[in-house]
Amino acid sequence: MADAHSTESNYLTATTGLKSWLFTLDHKRIGLMYLVGVLVFFLAGGVFALTLRTELLTPQGGDFISATTYNKMFTLHGAVMVFLVIIPSVPAALGNFLLPLMLGAKDVAFPRLNLLSFWIYTLGSMFFLFTLAAGQLDTGWTFYTPYSNTTGTAVISATFGAFILGFSSILTGLNFIVTVHKMRAPGMTWNKMPLMVWALYSTAVIQVLATPVLAITLLLLIVERTLMIGIFDPAMGGDPVLYQHFFWFYSHPAVYIMILPGFGIESELIAVHSRKHIFGYKAIALSSVAIAIISFVVWGHHMFVSGQSELAGIVFSFLTFAVAVPTAIKTFSWVATLYKGSIEFNTPMLYGLMFLFTFSIGGLTGIFLGALSVDVHLHDTYFVVAHFHYVMMGGTIIAFVGGIHHWWPKMFGVMYSEKWGKISALFIFVGFNMTFFNQFLLGQQGMPRRYWSYAPQFQQQHILSTVGGYLLLVGFMIIAIYLVHSLRNGEKVGPNPWNAQSLEWTATASPPIEHNFHGQPRVENDPYNFPEIDRTGSSH
């Protein structure tokens, strides 16, 4: 039905002027604004990272930046990447754009709240920028007490920024939950929702349940800092380890806030570009929910050597392994989806396959960290740094970049250069593994993290890691260039260039019209029933 109206105005052209963007209630525009914000901060976070890497070229400190600057850099890098990039990346940017389209709704349930959430995000990031200007902060993204109570830098403005960002995240989550419950098109039963929607839904549940705890933790930290209440600071009779419990109670579920949407994208990429029904739909959908639940009870695995009780350590280790099983199920299901498919190696699919490679390494190295005695050795070394980059960068960011390529024709109605897409994917694959695989080797040799200078025997791997970092920069630069280029010069595409089966492709134009659909779409088909699927079940 979309083809008939393909010449009429779309959501990009419906209204014009800056105001029509900044005060828009259209979920698609809000999603795009988030996307721009997220990418700008990704660039900033990447520049901070390369500053770190450059300093680490030599073992002695001070060749490039001072210890103080180094400490501020990794704090900013971690905090920007976590709070400003990865948490909003998939849900707030792509999710906002896609959720109503995939459900067959005209908008999210609360469009005003959605806009508010974007503005809160902007405000929170302003606070972070203010932190940059106001002497910066050097606590690490974890803000551990008592260090964060005593250090002279701008802890208050940064934590307040994170506190504000928390609200943005809560509002988005709340909006998504209600949207999924109340706004599904006729015929869209829970079992016909694309897996991306399931993933956004589970993510939203964690956002709503866990973020308030972060809010109160940061609030307590601020009060502790300003009024010296004495709950975390041992000098005042408090317990510094209590802070860690609070922090990880949020931040462990937060790592699944980061990865679940990535899983959602992965399911779409693998199924659509191999034109195969996703394998084990129910298992993938329900394992997200299982992860969402179990993720709340494993936070203590960040504290095996912090002096928490031995029993606590044992329980947390057990639960950590429990949460790995649903992830294993997903991984196997994606690979099985490829079986007897029709696999096309276009750019989105390359990222889909790259995800399987890098995320598996990241997840599998989580097993080392979950094992108590081994974690004693690996905790706070580069092994942990490598692990979380493999899951966050190699998982979520790779999926995110794949998702951007997959939905780019939908968002803008144009196609980018496939050739450059493949070249940059190669840069990113090589650069990424070079940067971070070396860090596993460093970590197991005992190289501690957050070190500005280090013992000479570690230099070789550090150099390789730095070179890899620069390759990543090149790769992302290429992407940025050809994507921007495609906006003007890209080949125009029809509503459904991938020939996919979910509503955002079958029932809307590219780019979609302002109100998404003409009339009310109805859903009969399952989103993964591709026309090529051989009904007889026989194969060749």
Partner 1 sequence: MGDHAKPAKNHAFFQHHFNTVGQQAGAAKMGMWLFLATEVLMFSGLFLAYFVVRALYPEMVLSSHELLDKTMGGINTVVLLTSSFTMAMAVRYAQLGDNKRCATQLLITLACAFIFLGVKYVEYTGKFSHGIFPGGYFHYDEAAQYAHSHGHSFRGLPHVFFGLYFVMTGLHGVHVLAGIGVIVWVYLRAKRGDFKDGYYAPVENVGLYWHIVDLVWIFLFPLLYLVK
Partner 2 sequence: MPTAASTFAEDTDNLYFFITALDTLFFVLIMGAMGYFMWKYRRRSKDQKTSSITHSGVIEFLWSAIPTVLLLVVFIWGECDFVRQSVAPADPLEVRVTGQKWYWTVEYPKYPGVSLNSSTEEPALTLMVPKGKPVRLTMTSTDVIHSFFVPAFRVKRDVVPGRYTQIWFEATRIGEFNLFCTEYCGDFHSNMTGVVKVLEPDDFERELIKAGVLTQEEGESMAAYGERIYKRRGCVACHSVDGADGTGPSWQGLYGRTESLSDGTTVKAEDQYIKDSIYEPNKQVVAGYAPQMPSYQGQLDNEQVTAVIEYIKTLK
Nearer to partner 2, 43 or 533 (CB): 533
Between CA 35 and CA 41 the distance in angstroms is 10
Q: Which stretch binds partner 1 (CB under 8 A): 81-89, 100-108, 337-345, 346-354?
A: 100-108
- Selected range binding partner 1 among 85-93, 174-182, 356-364, 454-462, rule: CB under 8 A: 174-182
- Residue 388 binds to ligand HEA (criterion: CB under 6 A): yes
Rounded Cα gap, residues 137 and 73, in angstroms: 9
- In the complex with partner 1, the residue whose CB is nearer, 45 or 253, is 253
For residue 450, report the phi and psi dihedrals to the nearest 5 degrees.
55, 35
Residue in 7, 17, 19, 534 binding partner 2, rule: CB under 8 A:
534
Among 367, 422, 489, 529, binds ligand HEA (CB under 6 A): 367
Stretch that binds ligand HEA, among 186-194, 341-349, 412-420, 466-474 (CB under 6 A): 466-474
Asked if 462 touches partner 2 (CB under 8 A), the answer is no
Chain-centre distance for alpha carbon 178? 22
Q: Would you give the distance in Å from CA 129 to the centre of its chain? A: 21
The three-point CA angle 414-410-24 to 5° equals 110
- The correct pick among 16, 17, 18, 237 for binding partner 1 (CB under 8 A) is 237
Structural contact between residues 396 and 90, judged by C-beta atoms closer than 8 angstroms: yes
**Residue 533 interacting with partner 1 (CB under 8 A):** no
Q: Looking at beta carbons only, is 105 or 349 nearer to partner 1?
A: 105
Helix H, strand E, coil C: the string for 440-474 is: HHHHHCCCECCCCCCCHHHHHHHHHHHHHHHHHHH
Q: Which of 360, 502, 508, 510 is the binder for ligand HEA (CB under 6 A)?
A: 360
CB 504 within 8 A of CB 412: no
Q: Which amino acid is at 354?
A: M
Residue closer to partner 2, measured from CB, 123 or 343: 343
Could you give the C-alpha distances from 133 to 50, 154, 528, in angstroms and in order? 20, 9, 50
Distance CA 453, CA 431 (A): 23
Nearer to partner 1, 213 or 324 (CB): 213
Q: How far apart are CA 25 and CA 107, in angstroms?
A: 9
Q: If binding is defined by CB under 6 A, does position 94 make contact with ligand HEA? A: no
290 binds partner 1 (CB under 8 A): no
In single-letter form, the type of residue at position 83 comes to F
Q: Minimum distance from CB of 525 to partner 2 (Å)?
A: 13
Distance CA(89)–CA(84), nearest Å, equals 8
Nearest to 359 by CA among 262, 469, 248: 262
CA–CA dist 245, 313 (Å, integer): 12
Q: Check binding of 476 to ligand HEA (CB under 6 A).
A: yes
132 binds partner 2 (CB under 8 A): no
Q: How far is the CB of 290 from partner 2 (least distance, A)?
A: 11
- With CB under 8 A, what is the number of residues at the site for partner 1? 42
Q: What are the distances in angstroms from CA 191 to CA 101, 195, 278, 282?
A: 17, 9, 13, 8
Of 221-260, which residues contact Cu ion (CB under 5 A)?
252
- Picked from ligand HEA, Cu ion, partner 2, none, the partner binding residue 435 (CB below 5 to 8 A depending on kind) is ligand HEA
CB 75 within 8 A of CB 476: no
User: Please, what is the minimum distance in Å from the beta carbon of residue 226 to partner 1?
Assistant: 8
Q: Shortest Cβ distance from residue 470 to ligand HEA (Å)?
A: 8
Residues 60-79 that bind ligand HEA (CB under 6 A): 74-75, 77-78
Cβ atoms of 269 and 199 closer than 8 Å: no
d(CA 243, CA 262) in angstroms, rounded, equals 29
Q: Does the footprint of partner 1 cover residue 150 (CB under 8 A)?
A: no
How many chain residues touch Cu ion (CB under 5 A)? 1
Q: Does 19 bind partner 2 (CB under 8 A)?
A: no
Q: Is residue 127 packed enough to be buried (19+ CB in 10 Å), middle (13-18) or exposed (0-12)?
A: buried
From 24-32, 39-47, 128-136, 309-317, give the range in contact with partner 2 by CB under 8 A.
309-317
- Counting every residue written for the chain, the total comes to 540
Residue type, 228: M
Strand, helix or coil at 201?
Answer: helix
Catalog residues that contact partner 1 under the rule CB under 8 A.
Answer: 105-107, 109-111, 113, 170, 174-175, 177-178, 181-184, 186, 208-209, 211-213, 215-217, 219-220, 223-224, 227-231, 236-239, 242, 246, 515, 520
Catalog residues that contact ligand HEA under the rule CB under 6 A.
Answer: 39, 42-43, 46, 49-50, 52-53, 74-75, 77-78, 81-82, 85-86, 140-142, 255, 258-259, 301-302, 320, 323-324, 327-328, 331, 360, 363-364, 366-367, 369-370, 375, 379-380, 384-385, 387-389, 391-393, 395-397, 401, 435, 449-451, 465, 469, 472-473, 476-477, 479-480, 483
